[in-house]
């Protein structure tokens, strides 16, 4: 495994020969848009909470109003920013390789806003609400402190996957299939600490894919990747696109 920021020739060759590229992204790919990562301390009135403690069904049951306010704050943050060159590069890459599968841990919808199609939202979407009891999708009334399901009256909850909750079956199956089939796996802007998302790179490696970590702060898993590019996704990903552009 080599730590570099310029793109090694062997990786350039692997990218040019790739039949199927699988890209996994985390909060770091949205950092250059101004969205705080999970690792970064929460801001303002949320500074006294750890994101991991708020993103749980237990926290919602204990104080649904508090959790709704947190997710509304995050929606407002995301609504006030734009995708960055990293998001746009991934959207462009999809048209430069035979097949690209994009799996994101981010719930911020920025990949879609950058033009990526068929994004696998492994941990759900901030802008989708669900009935806490039935799981059905509903549009929450922004006026309500704690919106209620129009069908059964139960609380509505943000359409994200909380810690301790299962990954949506289709997202899990499609992501595992893509990781096992790809010949190049890019892990971008993730600390590789949250499972099962962090296990996808191993699955790709076990199926002989070339694996690459793109992160300005090489993670504890960096050793396990074939390449670790220690740079910002908003810089490194456009470089990869340039290498493929005619």
- Active-site residue set: 123
From the list 10-18, 60-68, 130-138, 187-195, the region that binds ligand BV8 by CB under 6 A is 187-195
Contact call for residue 195 and ligand BV8 (CB under 6 A)? yes
Query: Which residue from 133, 138, 163, 174 is in contact with ligand BV8, where contact means CB under 6 A?
Result: 163
Helices 9-17/233-244 angle, 10° precision: 60
Under the binding rule (CB under 6 A), the answer on residue 216 touching ligand BV8 is: yes
Closest to ligand BV8 by CB, 175 or 233: 233
Cβ closest to ligand BV8, residue 47 vs residue 166: 166
Alpha-carbon distance of 192 to 209, in angstroms, equals 18
Q: Which is nearer to ligand BV8, 52 or 141 (CB)?
A: 52
Binding of residue 165 to ligand BV8 (CB under 6 A) = yes
Contact residue for ligand BV8 among 97, 172, 194, 230 (CB under 6 A): 194
Cα separation, 143 vs 7, whole angstroms: 50
- Give 37's Cβ-side CA count (13 Å radius): 16
The reply on whether position 221 binds ligand BV8 by CB under 6 A is no
Token pair for residue 29?
Answer: 């790919």
Using CB under 6 A, which residues numbered 50 to 79 contact ligand BV8? 52, 55
Contacting ligand BV8 within 75-134 (CB under 6 A): 105, 107, 123
Instruction: Give the CB-nearest residue to ligand BV8.
Output: 28
CB of 108 to ligand BV8, least distance (A): 9
Question: Any contact of residue 39 with ligand BV8 (CB under 6 A)?
Answer: yes
Give the CA dihedral 212, 214, 220, 224, nearest 10 degrees: 10
27 binds ligand BV8, rule: CB under 6 A: yes
Question: Which spans of this chain sit near ligand BV8 (rule: CB under 6 A)?
Answer: 26-28, 31-32, 37-39, 52, 55, 105, 107, 123, 160-166, 189-191, 193-195, 197, 215-217, 219, 232-234
């Amino acid at each position: 495994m080599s730590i570099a920021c310029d793109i090694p020739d062997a990786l350039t060759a692997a990218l040019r020969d790739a039949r199927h590229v699988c890209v996994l992204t985390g909060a770091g790919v949205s950092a250059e848009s101004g969205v705080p990562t999970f690792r970064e301390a929460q801001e303002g009135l949320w500074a006294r909470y750890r994101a991991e403690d708020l993103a749980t069904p237990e926290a919602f049951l204990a104080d649904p109003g508090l959790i709704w306010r947190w997710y509304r704050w995050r929606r407002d943050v995301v609504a006030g920013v734009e995708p960055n060159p990293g998001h746009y590069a991934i959207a462009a890459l999809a048209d430069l390789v035979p097949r690209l599968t994009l799996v994101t841990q981010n719930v911020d919808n920025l990949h879609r806003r950058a033009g990526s199609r068929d994004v696998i939202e492994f941990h759900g979407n901030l802008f989708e609400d669900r009935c806490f009891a039935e799981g059905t999708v509903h549009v929450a009334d922004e006026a309500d402190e704690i919106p209620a399901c129009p069908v059964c009256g139960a609380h509505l909850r943000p359409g994200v996957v909380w810690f301790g909750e299962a990954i949506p079956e289709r997202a899990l199956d499609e992501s595992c299939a893509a990781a096992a089939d790809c010949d190049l796996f890019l892990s971008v802007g993730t600390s590789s600490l949250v499972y099962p998302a962090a296990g996808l790179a191993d699955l790709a490696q076990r199926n002989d894919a070339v694996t690459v970590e793109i992160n300005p702060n090489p993670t504890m898993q960096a050793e396990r990747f074939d390449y670790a590019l220690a740079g910002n996704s908003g810089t490194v990903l456009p470089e990869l696109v340039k290498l493929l552009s005619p």
